[in-house]
Amino acid sequence: MNQNVKDRFLTYVSFDTQSDSASTAVPSTEKQLKLAAYLADELKGLGLHDVEMDQYACVYAHIPASAGCTRPGLALIAHMDTAMDMSGANIKPRIVAGYDGGDIVLNHEKNIVTRVSDYPSLAQFKGQDLIVTDGTTLLGADDKAGVAEIMTLAQFLMEHPEHPHPGISILFTPDEEIGRGADHVDVKKLDAAYGYTVDGGILGEFSYENFNAAGAVVTVHGVTAHTGYSKGVLKNAILMAMEYQNLLPVYETPACTEGREGFFHLDRMEGCTETATMKYIIRDHNYGHYMERQELMKDAAQYLNRKYGEGTVEIQITESYLNMYEKIKDHQEMIDHVFTAMEKAGVTPIVDPIRGGTDGSRLSYMGLPCPNLCTGGQNGHGRHEFVSVQSMEKVVEILKYLVELYV
């Protein structure tokens, strides 16, 4: 099973592992079990210890510490599922060898082109080998690039037990893209004091802050009536739902914010005159502002209930995850070690707060401080997603240096 990181990645993206937020099953889609079983078999083939795929499709494995290392263990984590934003089935990856720096035609027939004018970061990849799609699916570098990089490190450490490293725990999770990746993780089974998710973007990106996040479901109850005789009777739930949305700050949306600026995002809306439902995500790096956003949404519901009658608008808010920084700030060595490892690999660290979350944000609050490392992937969740082979190779190199620092 000896493979390089590129070949592993191309194998993993052949598995359709798209998760489904509407499903109540665990994992949310049965197809994720196929990749989980494949990875468990691969880990066993590499000789790792205590390899297990549990009933939830979490895959665990361990690498013993190198001789003389008595430091606590280190966990490396990536997720297997892909996002719901675009299909992850029948992915047709293509390698653009020695990328020339110009636009990349993904699909001649459908005229799908990744243009430098739209994605100026492409300029820095000139001369590298890029793995792209045919424009009809996402690629899955988020996060199968992370899975491939951890697997390649595992192979190296099993072949070179003399390479200094603590006990390494490996964890691959399902359903991260729908916020459930850490729901069934057994932190005790990991047997690690520190962890890193390998689930970031461009080479050098390193994050130890993320949004505080919640989901909100707003249900609007109307009164239907024949349109010819509806005066004074009809209460159109769709129109009242639109009115609710208009009570929220116009420019505090993902399209108008960046950095640590928070937002409200109307993610889905459906309904008829009788009932309308809106699904929101609420995000803010600042916990106080995060709570204020929730109160503003509740106030908007109360206002419409006063206007149209009690019970017209119902709102249910569910917390998703909190800012990992609150749990990582007391572990400065975890941050310093990443800087050192990247510098040894000749990579410039790019510290960037995540405008989202990873399994690491949940795990940090479960007792495993867990910042997030880059994978080299770009433009995740869409048809223009790509990853540089050379970036993936560099991430493996960074991981080799990083594990040394925990001895």
State yes or no: is 336 an active-site residue.
Answer: no
Instruction: Show which of 291, 321, 351 is a domain's final residue.
Output: 321
The structural domain count of the chain equals: 2
- Specify whether 296 is located in the same domain as 346: no
- Specify whether 165 is located in the same domain as 224: no
DSSP state for residue 328 in the 8-state scheme: H
- Specify whether 189 is located in the same domain as 242: no
pLDDT for the residue 356: 85
State yes or no: is 176 an active-site residue.
Answer: yes
Check: CB of residue 190 under 8 Å from CB of residue 366: no
pLDDT for the residue 3: 84
The CATH number of the domain where 224 resides is what?
3.30.70.360
Other Cβ atoms less than 10 A from the Cβ of 406: the count is: 22
- Specify whether 315 is located in the same domain as 332: no
Instruction: Show which of 290, 305, 321 is a domain's final residue.
Output: 321
pLDDT for the residue 342: 98
Query: 10-residue block means of pLDDT along the chain (407 residues)?
Result: 88 98 96 98 97 97 95 97 96 98 97 97 96 98 98 98 97 95 95 97 96 96 95 97 98 96 97 97 97 98 98 96 95 98 98 90 96 97 97 98 97
pLDDT for the residue 2: 62
Question: 349 to each of 115, 207, 248, 341, 358, how far by Cα in Å?
Answer: 26, 10, 37, 10, 19
- Specify whether 191 is located in the same domain as 247: no
- Specify whether 266 is located in the same domain as 309: yes
- Determine which one of 16, 81, 175, 199 is catalytic: 81
- Determine which one of 129, 134, 142, 176 is catalytic: 176
Q: What range defines the domain where residue 234 resides?
A: 217-321
pLDDT for the residue 139: 98
- Specify whether 257 is located in the same domain as 112: no
278 — phi, psi (to 5°)?
-125, 135
- Specify whether 51 is located in the same domain as 189: yes
- Specify whether 59 is located in the same domain as 132: yes
pLDDT for the residue 358: 85
pLDDT for the residue 66: 97
pLDDT for the residue 365: 95
